[in-house]
Structure 1
């Protein structure tokens, strides 16, 4: 691998119609957009080279992501083109932040062990937050919730953290709510992933990428 390429961690949002694009299509989508923005991407080796892009644990189709994570290897002298990226990405996608990380840093799959979520029953639901938490506490994967759900914001959302999103995703929680009779389908609720990161008992939720005040990438 050439020394002129650097590893860039980026945070992106996916809203509206972008939520319905399958996760496995996103590396191609981002690779195409990055090249159009003027970034030169490092390619994988082998018979079918493709841009070296990795993404954090996926979201179910239809779920909004406010700060998803990915990494890409970019030629250093084209880093300034990151600020053009949002002009060429499909509607609903936006790169919110990016920063260069050390190449020896562990992979996102090793670092990312938690996600923060918001859940709301549509039309006010039939349950208070307390009643909903009581139902969820009977879920056999309740240990995967790293912090007791709490009321979040003014929109009637329940905020919570789930551990190991690559193994216990929000789909399993929704399936439990359906089997418990709380909702009849995904259409009866709103689910948002606020961010991905690390979680431990001492430090709480730790972000793996900060959001710069100006510009997408500052090197």
Structure 2
């Protein structure tokens, strides 16, 4: 695996590129285009394969890739790997959906918070939290990709979207050990942002004024 070498400018370059690659697929989803369905099907079939190993997805993952992101050795670059993994995960998320599962500004932590809240289970002991915790402790892109696949399948089932442009940038930078903690911090902030507090019966009585007055 080739790691990013030129800092955050390459992250921005990758994010702009994946945005450009997602747009025609999103239009195709909205129009129920056979071409978009075929492309997403090929991408789903490429999940778990090394970047560049499946000619059926070269256009979607390697086509027009900016020069700083292109690998120079026999191994896929971090940019090539990020494009391959994130486009394939998007295709998994989009499977069977007519609405766009790419949701700008909905980070991974926010999406998981919605998943947990919609489940109706206790937040602190929720199995989705345990899965997310396992994802955040990944120490490589390969491990992160494995956990993401499972989690995104859950998000698809719940109809919850995700910002794939943001995720692409985070996945790309995850190749750098010193960027992992800042990324984990962002996910944690999103997950534990304000969420509605469960009301107890006592709280409701206090709000409606139905509690019995004290005896004289």
Q: TM-score range by the shorter chain?
A: 0.3 to 0.5
Output the TM-score relative to the length of structure 2.
0.32
Would you tell me which structure has more helix in proportion to its own residues?
2
Larger radius of gyration: 2
Output the TM-score relative to the length of structure 1.
0.32
Would you tell me which structure has more strand in proportion to its own residues?
1
